[in-house]
Amino acid sequence: MKIGIVGLGLMGGSFGKALKKYNLASKIVGYDHNQIHQKEAMELCLVDEIVELDELIKSDMIVLCIPVDAIIAFLPKLVSCVEYNTTIIDFGSTKELIVKSIPNELKSCYIPAHPMTGTEKFGPSAAIDELYENKTMVLCDLESAGDIHKNRAIQIFETLKMKLVFMNSHDHDIHACYMSHLPHAISFALANMVMNHERPKDIISLAAGGFKDMSRIAKSSPNMWSDIFRQNRANLLESLDIYEKQIGYIKKILQNEDYERIEEWMKKSNTLHDIL
């Protein structure tokens, strides 16, 4: 099977690595608007060949590993040129707006997916082995997809030892907000707060593990994450309101010097890792 990957950064590049490791494609071709990314992807052997769109569309499967807005803008380009038996998968971090934007002509061959994995790094050099292995892949709104396309996608993800979760795109975006998008917003806010209040030399001298852990994802791509925040704006705003209530609660009991309640509050948070 010939597989085409659009976007050769962390997600696309790592997917190319995974396809090669498990021999899931007879040929892997890549498409990226960034010429530097094209060169790096070839040097790192993430794909077998860099091609133009007219060649990429001849693939048996096309995987879109680009930002959500770019996915939505890209779909109309495929309408008149993709064969009915070509499987199209997107790895967008939000799903509902993408699903609503799928042209009718593509719905039978389209698989909306979200791999729950990643790092704060981006670009082809960020691609890593085993990014997808033993991770969760969320598949959304598959009712319109044909069996051949669902089976292709599921077979590849199961070969990569991924845990498959099926849900509708609306619920996905709510869950993804609390598990991923809100933590990124908090990390960006923490980094900006410290930068505004601390001198660089003090940050270098005093920043320890806790701060580094919480601020790590603030190194993520602003371009990609502003896109995600825009697409999931309503859910993110609601989650920020709820988070502010938690901050308000700890602020109030700290002002009241109610340290017993502070300890109870912390103990409740400890139970999260009984689940994880």
Q: Which residue, of 119, 141, 167, is where some domain finishes?
A: 167
Q: Say whether both 93 and 151 belong to one domain.
A: yes
pLDDT of res. 84? 83
At 203 the pLDDT is: 61
Give pLDDT, residue 201.
63
Q: What is the mean pLDDT of residues 94-109?
A: 95
Mean model confidence pLDDT for the chain: 92
Please return the burial class of 136, using the count of CB atoms within 10 Å of its CB with bins 0-12, 13-18 and 19+: middle
- Phi/psi for 67 (5° steps) reads -60, 160
pLDDT of the residue at 276: 65
Are 129 and 36 in the same domain? yes
Are residue 159 and residue 177 in the same domain, yes or no?
Answer: no
Do 104 and 190 lie in one domain? The reply is: no
**pLDDT band at residue 191, thresholds of 50, 70 and 90?**
confident
Q: In this structure, what CATH number is given to the domain that contains residue 230?
A: 1.10.3660.10
pLDDT band at 107; cut points 50, 70, 90: very high
Residue 273 has a pLDDT of: 80
* Each residue's pLDDT tens digit, 117-167: 988 788 999 999 999 999 999 999 999 999 999 999 999 999 999 999 999
Of the two residues 220 and 75, the one the predictor is more confident about is 75
Diameter of the chain measured on Cα atoms: 67
Q: Which of 68-77, 187-196, 197-206, 213-222 has the lowest mean pLDDT?
A: 197-206
Look up the domain containing 227 and give its range: 172-275
**Domain stop point among 114, 143, 167:** 167
Same structural domain, 67 and 198: no
The DSSP symbol for 162 reads: P
What is the model's pLDDT at position 259? 92
The pLDDT value recorded for residue 207 is 64
Q: What is the pLDDT of residue 205?
A: 63
Same domain, 193 and 71: no
Report percent pLDDT > 70 for the chain. 95
pLDDT band, very low/low/confident/very high, at 206 (cuts 50, 70, 90): low
Whether the Cβ atoms of residue 131 and residue 118 lie closer than 8 Å to each other: yes
User: To 5 degrees, how large is the angle CA 125–CA 94–CA 145?
Assistant: 100
pLDDT digits (tens, 9 = 90+) for 208-263: 667 777 788 888 888 889 989 999 999 999 999 999 999 999 999 999 999 999 99
**What's the whole-model pTM score?**
0.86
DSSP letter, residue 214? H
149 and 208 part of one domain: no
Report the half-sphere exposure of 182 (CA within 13 A, side-chain side). Answer: 18
Distances (CA, A) of 177 to 98, 184, 192, 198, 238: 16, 9, 21, 29, 10
**Per-residue confidence (pLDDT) for residue 81, from 0 to 100:** 81
Look at residues 134, 167, 200 and tell me which one is the last residue of a structural domain. 167
Residue 198: its pLDDT value, please? Answer: 67
CA distance 244 to 143: 38
Give, for 166, the enclosing helix (H) or strand (E): strand 163-167
Write down the pLDDT at residue 76.
93
Q: What is the mean pLDDT of residues 264-271?
A: 92
Report the CATH number that the domain containing residue 142 is assigned in CATH. 3.40.50.720
pLDDT number for residue 204: 60
Q: What is the DSSP letter of 92?
A: -
Number of domains in the chain: 2
